[in-house]
Structure 1
Amino acid sequence: MDTAPDRRRFELIVIGASAGGVSALQALLAAVPPGLAMPILVVLHLPRDRPSRIADLLDLRCPLPVREAEDKQPLQDGTVTFAPPDYHLLVEDRNTLALSIDPPVLYSRPAIDPLFESAAEVFGAGVLAILLTGASSDGSEGVAAVRQAGGQAWIQSPDDAYSSLMPASALAYAGADAVLPLSSLCVHMKGLER
């Protein structure tokens, strides 16, 4: 299903990834348009017991500033914000992010489902959720929430993913608005605007 996604204007992009996600995120975030004036929030499954350097690593490739989230920070247009290790990243309201130490979801904290679900609750049809490679079913409930709220879900083709379980699980559970190889996701990312 390598079809062209809906070209509507979005208010918020949320991205989730796990196994194989660092290289997928390097490619996808390098394709972000330099003037993209909307927030991008990212959950990558991370080890809980050590600091993450992922924001620093991806800041080298992304044309937008990349940073790690802090509790109660403003939701910022033109910025990529990552969940820190051992905290769920949530959209608290249209202006604010929150960090949570609620229990892990499917053994992960940060987890993708809480981010996607909170984004859907606050931004509804203005959300674009992108689910990449991963080795768990985290993200399935979140993709369902985004789609039920009228937002869009783009999912990496399972046969293109480093680990197919996460995208395949989400497709089976919630479907998608587009299922694309990473290279096509990057092309469509370049075409986004607000």
Structure 2
Amino acid sequence: MAARFDLLVIGGSAGSLSVVMKIIPLLKPSLNLATVIVFHRKQSDDSALIEVLAGRTDCRVKEADDKDDLLPAHIYVAPADYHVLIEKNKTITLDFSEKINYSRPSIDLSFDSAAEVYGPRLACLLLSGANADGVDGLLSAKRQGAFIMVQNPSTAEVPYMPQQAVEKVSCDLLIDPDNLKEFLAAILE
């Protein structure tokens, strides 16, 4: 069964990797869904991340490169220290401009640029983290018709980021990482 969205953008910081590790196996190639993952991470964290994620899904997992086409059944991981922007021609642009919310990559920029292109065919998921990056991007995405999901702050290792989102954004779904049936149902047609 195909997804009802064309693009899923997942944003997270401290404490989010363990949740992504539970979500990745659910992202089957048959969903026909492109996925972008934006983590706050150091360049020294890069070595094994792609291989670890790739080992948990049949989708192709790769670090995002400038001008990559966003293809179904592909998972693109934002490289450390680069913003990931989604362009109108459904490609990725890597950007080294200033940090936003002390972060590069900025989850806000990825959510916002994806929403401009995909509108209601976009699903956004904000996970655990220690700052408010992603909240403004969710607001922008919501205004453009995107489906907004946030990790339930009570389940987050670092609840600040999802708590800010819950307080400021009208979320369509709160995600419990130990019960992802609702997540999967939400992205299916």
TM-score, normalised on structure 2?
0.92
Higher relative contact order (CA 8 A, sep 6+): 1
Answering whether residue 60 of structure 2 is matched by residue 65 of structure 1, we say yes
Instruction: Report if the CA contact (8 A) 1:155-1:179 is conserved.
Output: yes
Cα distance, 1:55 vs structure 2: 1.6
Instruction: Report if the CA contact (8 A) 1:94-1:123 is conserved.
Output: no
Answering whether residue 184 of structure 2 is matched by residue 190 of structure 1, we say yes
TM-superposition CA deviations, 1:78-137 (whole Å, max 9, x none): 101010011011101243111001111111111210000000111111110011111110
Greater share of helix: 2
Cα distance, 1:67 vs structure 2: 0.6
Pick from 26, 32, 35: which aligns with 1:31? 26
**What is the CA RMSD across the aligned residues, in angstroms?**
1.7
In the alignment, which residue of structure 2 is the partner of 1:165? Answer: 160
Query: Aligned residues, how many?
Result: 186
Runs (4+) of structure 1 moved beyond 6 Å? none
CA distance in 1, matches of 2:45, 2:123: 30
Pick from 101, 120, 145: which aligns with 1:125? 120
Instruction: Report if the CA contact (8 A) 1:37-1:193 is conserved.
Output: no
In the alignment, which residue of structure 2 is the partner of 1:22? Answer: 17
TM-superposition CA deviations, 1:152-188 (whole Å, max 9, x none): 101110001111001001111223111121133x223
Q: 1:158–1:106: structure 2 CA closer, same or farther, 3 Å change rule?
A: same
Answering whether residue 8 of structure 2 is matched by residue 9 of structure 1, we say no
Instruction: Report if the CA contact (8 A) 2:12-2:126 is conserved.
Output: yes
- % identical equivalent positions: 32
